[in-house]
Every structure is written in C-alpha cells, then in structure tokens.
Chain A
C-alpha cells in the first residue's frame, strides 16, 4: 500500500512564498503529481515529477527526492486566488495501471 502525508492547513500572506511538503511511502513509485482544488470544483493539474529535481512552471515549482520519498510544491508571489486545497498524488506501478493515490490535501489560505 501507500502512505502519503501532507499538512492539513497552511496560511500565508499575499505576495509571499509558501512551500507545501509531501512525504510518501510506496513500493512501485512511478511519478508524483500536484493538483489544485478550489472548493466545490474538480482538481486541476499543476505539476508532474518523476525524476529528482525541480520543475518550474511560472509561479509554481515542484521538487522531488525519490530517495527521501519527499516532494514539495512552491508557490511564489501568492495571490488571493491561490487559496485552495493542494493535493499530492503518487502513481504506482502495481496493477499495471496508471493508478494515483492522493493525499488528503493541504488547505492553503492566502490573507491580505
């Protein structure tokens, strides 16, 4: 099975930088995804990491260390619209499919 841990809640100030951590344990790691989910809406894809290192996409960056079972999502120049839940999801080779297991999500609140 898999175990994915991320903080339940975080609060940050508009214009600041915030880092959301995710740790995982899995036997057949095959990639890590970050999704953003606004209240009452569907998750939307943010980033994907399968190799160690940093992936940058505009204000959002995601980092992966496979040996440590660790990832983080970095959000720069925070805006009010970034208030949402951020879901870490790990893909596993088991079962031959593209199976994602999601963490419980980190609820980010951006304040003035």
Chain B
C-alpha cells in the first residue's frame, strides 16, 4: 500500500513570496490533515479535512495560509505571503475516518526555509 505522498520535499523562498505544497493521501482515506512542525517542537495541526469539507482550521493563520481539498482526495496548502517564522516542516497526514482507534499516517513532509 502506497503511503502519503508530498511534494516538493524542500523549498527555499524569500519572505513575502508565495509557496504551495501538495499532498496525496493514502488511497481511501477520508480524513486529511496538515501540520506545521517547527524545529525542536511537535507537529501542530493547521487544518483537518473530512472528504472535501473542513473539520477544524482553528489554528490556521487565515490571513496568509489557505488550504483546499476540492475533490476529496489531493490537497494543497498555500502560504501567501511567507514570513520568516513560517520556516518549518509541513507534514500531511491521513486517516481512514475519524473513529476512536483511527491512526494518522504521515507523509515525508516539505521542509520550507524562508530567507
């Protein structure tokens, strides 16, 4: 079974530029998550989708971050404009559903450096 795919793996941009990350979840997984992991910290949930609907985006900085999952499969996370403090690894995860024992499986992440 293929895992969660993400691209690009690395991205370097200047502050105030825009950037987009792509995620393809495990086939059949209805729930998709985007996390931000700053060096030395645990992942922080940015947004959670159930199929193509948003379940939780309470920690998403909506003035600069946006995400979509139009067809309920792939998802894109965008930052516009980027700030220095956005430098982090952006992890995508998916789970089969939202049930009690539902495990999240993570992709390899995109390491973003903002200069």
Give chain B's interface residues, CB within 8 Å of chain A. Answer: 4, 31, 40-45, 48, 50, 55-56, 58, 91, 95, 98-109
In the bound complex, do residue B98 and residue A102 qualify as a contact, i.e. CB atoms below 8 Å apart?
A: no
Q: Contacts A42-B108, A44-B106, A98-B102; is A104 near B45 (CB within 8 Å)?
A: no
Question: Interface SS of chain B: helix, strand, loop or mixed?
Answer: loop
Residues of A within 8 A of B105 (CB): 45
A98 with B42: CB separation less than 8 A: no
Q: Give chain B residues whose Cβ lies under 8 Å from the Cβ of A105.
A: 41-42
CB interface residues, A 1-46, toward B, < 8 Å: 4, 30-31, 33, 35, 41-45
Q: How far is the CA of A107 from the CA of B31 in the complex (A)?
A: 29
- How many A residues have CB within 8 A of the partner chain? 25
Q: Which of chain B's residues has its CB closest to A105's CB?
A: B42
Number of A-B contacts (CB under 8 A): 59
**What B residues does A50 contact at CB under 8 A?**
100-101
Tell me whether A104 and B40 are in contact (CB under 8 A): yes
CB-defined contacts of A44 to chain B, threshold 8 Å: 106
- Judged by DSSP, the binding face of A is strand
Return the contact of B91 from the options A4, A43, A103 (Cβ within 8 A).
Answer: A43
* Docked CA distance A20–B40 (Å): 17
CB proximity of A96 to chain B, nearest CB, Å: 7
- A45 (CB) vs chain B CBs: closest residue: B103
Q: Which residues of B contact A99 (CB under 8 A)?
A: 45, 48, 56
Q: Specify which chain A residues have a CB less than 8 angstroms from the CB of B50 in the assembled complex.
A: 97
Which 8 A-B pairs give the minimum distances between C-beta atoms? A102-B42, A42-B106, A98-B98, A97-B55, A97-B56, A95-B56, A43-B106, A102-B43
- Report the separation of the CA atoms of residues A48 and B99 in the bound assembly, to the nearest whole angstrom: 13
A residues near B107, Cβ cutoff 8 Å: 42
